[in-house]
A and B are shown apart, each in its own frame.
Chain A
């Protein structure tokens, strides 16, 4: 049998494929069911977001950057606003900071719910996807109630937020957060013990901490590999020091851990939102910022902890009302680079599971 001649063949997975989450082309060299080589080809969704931002005023950049990573558009809003505020030294009112934290954490929950659903779907269970989206809709309703949009919010602005929350927001938000916390327990009951799920995820796509650090991996994937690194705590921004929350750490760095850490983070985020709703007080929601906002000339790299890892904006201002250069950094790009490293010599089904567990958002990779 051993001298049986086999032949490798190439197969194009994507640009249009059910499990590439957008338009990413993976050129696979296969040996039967086994993947010998993976080469990701990106750029199908390039929209020149960074360049567009150079031709827009700071206020206009925010809706454009909404499209940078649309699953967590709040953090795109936030990181750009934060960078502009740091350049010009604007003090953000207390209430605005709380509102920002509430929105960021709700958005993190929404994003992780998407992750949960799509990963389960890619591994073959279709029903959890619908459950996850059902819960996500509640969060979208909260966002729509506050800022009028469900996906591209344009809510967090330079100097604060655009609108105060409506009266019915607080009770509804508390209810939503409690529901989601319960539902996450149900998800765990549904999948965690399932032997098929365990077979498909445990020990699959192992990523050790050294490799993760070498590739610039951040966020939940890094923490699933046992590196305790969270920008909310390690590079403090906003008012995260006022809340009591844990940063979940897992050690194995396989698909199962990457899945578990996100479910845990949903529950931690629920805690943060509940605390923020308790602590929030009345007050102004936006510092005085002129419509022709011109920050002082200078440059800054501002980063925050996004649901996909470190999201940063390198902003150069020349003192005019348009930014001189906007460089956006998203978590997905390094994660996609990592794919050839850990998905080589696995089965094609594992490749799908690993790719799903990275939670890559292609518009963010292609920008």
Chain B
């Protein structure tokens, strides 16, 4: 009998604990109205980063991210152009395959892509999950990042001064790639990159491409 009375008081104690919680405020958020602040390192949507100054893509088509991807979610097609330079023809990221491991970001030496805290990209159509280069770039425009590229590149990009750039050859070359490609990609939208190449070549002497 004593056991039953003790059990009864235990039951009342249980009610007390849940009743105490009744008075507390909810810990959940009302999602579409209230949003959680995503941490700095949050690994969500992968975006392609653009240069902070001229808005061109940082990608050099080195294919390192594609090789690092464990699920083969990244597909890059970058054939060599006439001047033996890689031209980024296709950069597709399939978010239905992506596992958000962040290995691509770690593999990239040029701050070309980043996993961001963005997460609202759900869709009713699976094909919409394959993002092309324009979408990846557009989504990533407002993303702040630390530029991993060599400082020299930055100097070259805005002001084409011959004397500084001649000191080192390699960075300028990479800078060149970064410079030239975005121009092509933007024209890619009209699918007339071949026609636009003369323009490209016009720019090159300015940035002293051939050192």
Contacts and interface: CB of A to CB of B under 8 A. Distances in A.
Real complex partners, A and B? yes
Interface of A: 56, 59-64, 66-67, 127, 131, 134, 137, 141, 144-149, 152, 154, 162-163, 166, 186, 189-191, 193-196, 291
Contacts of B90: none
Given A193-B13, A196-B11, 4 more contacts: A60-B68, A60-B69, A63-B101, A152-B101
The 8 A-B residue pairs with the shortest CB-CB distance, nearest first, are: A63-B101, A195-B7, A148-B43, A60-B70, A193-B10, A148-B41, A154-B101, A145-B39
Contact of B99 (A63, A162, A193, A291): A63
Interface string B99-135: 1111100110000000100000000000000000000
Nearest to B116: A148
Contact of B41 (A59, A146, A195, A196): A146
A148 B14 contact: no
A152 B42 contact: no
A273 B102 CA distance: 26
Nearest to B40: A166
Given A148-B41, A163-B41, A60 B103 contact: yes
Contacts of A56: 70
Contacts of A67: 99
22 contacts: A59-B103, A60-B69, A60-B70, A61-B70, A62-B101, A63-B99, A63-B101, A67-B99, A127-B18, A144-B38, A144-B42, A145-B41, A148-B42, A148-B43, A152-B100, A154-B101, A166-B40, A190-B14, A194-B7, A195-B7, A195-B11, A291-B107
Contact of A147 (B21, B41, B103): B41
A56 B70 CA distance: 7
* Interface size classification for chain B: 20 to 34
Contacts of A189: 13, 17
B18 to A, nearest CB: 6
B27 A134 contact: yes
A289 B38 CA distance: 30
A146 B41 CA distance: 7
Contact of B10 (A149, A166, A194): A194
A191 B17 CA distance: 10
Given A148-B115, A149-B43, A166-B40, A195 B68 contact: no
Interface centre among A131, A144, A152, A191 (most CB of B within 10 A): A144
B103 A186 contact: no
Contacts of A64: 70
A67 B99 CA distance: 10
Nearest to A134: B27
Interface string B39-51: 1111100000000
A51 B107 CA distance: 24
A149 B17 contact: no
A59 B14 contact: no
Interface in B138-155: none
Interface string B80-105: 00000000000000000001111100
Nearest to A155: B102
A144 B117 CA distance: 10
Contacts of A146: 41
